[in-house]
Structure 1
């Protein structure tokens, strides 16, 4: 089968989790065989283009691209179906369409999103998901939300968890060779969306600094901006640099209030870095018993977890081993097979 995948998101947000997903699943599908992947990218689409990712200008540009250009490119490529990495509809395409739903954060935590975006996303994403021939969900958590909140029949849903990326484990090796000291910092990877709960992390870190005899720095890797004693920002590090940061961290701190899937937690576990996490359902589904959980939105609870991880080598070793075992259950190859199942479902094969 020949599948056209819209990879515009890699261009507009190259450091995002969605971009990581697109790059990894495209490569995994190509290695799997049985499917020919054709990539389509809106070359004129960059963000910000007169606004952020959710601005009116960008939303309208995306809708035009999906409605007018994508069907034409799919026909030119001889694609049997279109795969959207986010909920969308190419109404001018007569073949089946598949889409991926990562999370329903704007439904579960509406207070953290602008009203206009919430209304648009609720109507447009729900309609696209209901119309899709198959819906790929990154976790059982997301699948349950899609069924409960959007009314998508369970028989049209395929769960395809992400993988950690074998290249990450390979890239972490040069870190040790370069003299990076394992346990040299605490690490946060992501942006500063309200649902990521950076205020709790920063408050907890300040409490940790006051209590720790030899406090370690906190590295914020991604687009998050913060100032404070011991806080260091690394904006959009390369995958190579990110691997070094994972490998040299005493722990990854995953403070998010809601996630469909804990990708950064999985990446950390895959290289043996312990994970401290808020108990969001998608993160629990990813980490299982391999993370040190703390009470959500409780800086004192998080600070205590950070103190424990720094002070107790046995706990670090235990979480590291648990994490490696847990991460071994996930792979992009397995995700690609699930994607192929979704494509076959959409085509009625």
Structure 2
């Protein structure tokens, strides 16, 4: 089977999509699939709106609608896989599209009207035109069925595997820590990984951390700082930003964390939560279906507006090495359920449905 995989977003900087594309491509090749990679050669789109963004959207459409199908014909691909919703035209190849989430439908209040219209049009066209649809979780597949009536055999659920830290064992966690002392591998900081878009709900983490600091100081205990790893930029007492950490540095941050704070109101999967569990970091998350699907009983949950509840959990993991060790062990076991090899097998099923 020969699959043309659109790797455009692998070259646009670190993101959940780039991890997905890179790791999936490698796993497919290990499973015996011939993967032909193709990326839009233009530069990444500039931030903001205006004419520049409109031109880039047009160039994106020309790539997915015209150039990618042309390359598919040229290389004799059986299937074209679009890791983000898109639809090529004028091709006899089976087309597979990945739907990561329908947050703009489930939580329209978190997005502006123009984005909602564009996202709905793009997703509907891609799903309608594809021979098979990959959903990254059962939660996303349920949303697709609930909101748009799309389901059946052409919808295949394929969970991600861990990101860049798959397979790391306890000895690799926490450089410089005394691994013989219970809890010493963790507990140096609290960690948030991601950006500051509204659905990620960073404000909950910041509010809870402020209350946690107050409680610690009232009892004469030193509070842990909150590290924001990624593109989020916020200032405040006890808050430190680490912009775009390299994979090795991100692995260190996971390994040294008393907990990953995952306050998102909506996710399609929750890759950072899986990465954290694989690295041995406890996970405290806002309760949303996809994250519960991924983390199961290994995580601790709060409602997405419960700053007091989150602050209490931060206090618990910050002061109790035994709790951290138990959550770490539970998380590693849970993370072991997921792998890119398993994801590749599910994708191959989707390619077969599409005619590959």
Superposition TM-score, scaled by structure 2 size: 0.92
User: How far apart are the structure 2 equivalents of 1:328 and 1:66?
Assistant: 35
Q: What's 2:212 paired with?
A: 208
Q: Does the 8 A contact of 2:64 with 2:86 survive in 1?
A: yes
Q: What's 2:31 paired with?
A: 32
RMSD (Å) for aligned C-alpha atoms = 1.9
| Pairing partner for 1:223 from 231, 237, 242 | 231
By how many angstroms is 1:300 displaced?
Answer: 0.8
* Structure 1 residue 234 corresponds to structure 2 residue 234: no
Q: What's 1:256 paired with?
A: 264
Q: Does the 8 A contact of 2:84 with 2:98 survive in 1?
A: yes
User: How far apart are the structure 2 equivalents of 1:45 and 1:63?
Assistant: 14
Q: What's 1:22 paired with?
A: 21
Gaps of 5+ in 2: 179-184
Q: Does the 8 A contact of 1:50 with 1:57 survive in 2?
A: no
Deviation sequence 1:183-225 (CA, Å, 0-9, x none): 1000000111100111111111111111111101100001001
Q: What's 1:305 paired with?
A: 313
| Pairing partner for 1:332 from 328, 336, 340 | 340
User: How far apart are the structure 2 equivalents of 1:178 and 1:134?
Assistant: 47
Q: Which range is displaced more, 111-120 or 168-177?
A: 168-177
- Counterparts of residues 1-349 of structure 1 (less than 5 Å): 1-12=1-12, 14-33=13-32, 35-48=33-46, 51=49, 55-165=53-163, 167-170=165-168, 173=171, 176-179=174-177, 182-212=186-216, 213-347=221-355
Give the secondary structure class of the aligned counterpart of 1:237: coil
Gaps of 5+ in 1: none
Q: Does the 8 A contact of 1:147 with 1:154 survive in 2?
A: no
Superposition TM-score, scaled by structure 1 size: 0.94
Q: Does the 8 A contact of 2:186 with 2:324 survive in 1?
A: no
Deviation sequence 1:28-80 (CA, Å, 0-9, x none): 111111x100011011131326759x943332221111112111111111111
User: How far apart are the structure 2 equivalents of 1:131 and 1:344?
Assistant: 16
By how many angstroms is 1:113 displaced?
Answer: 1.2
Q: Which range is displaced more, 20-29 or 112-121?
A: 112-121
By how many angstroms is 1:286 displaced?
Answer: 0.4
Q: Does the 8 A contact of 2:270 with 2:290 survive in 1?
A: yes
Give the secondary structure class of the aligned counterpart of 2:233: coil
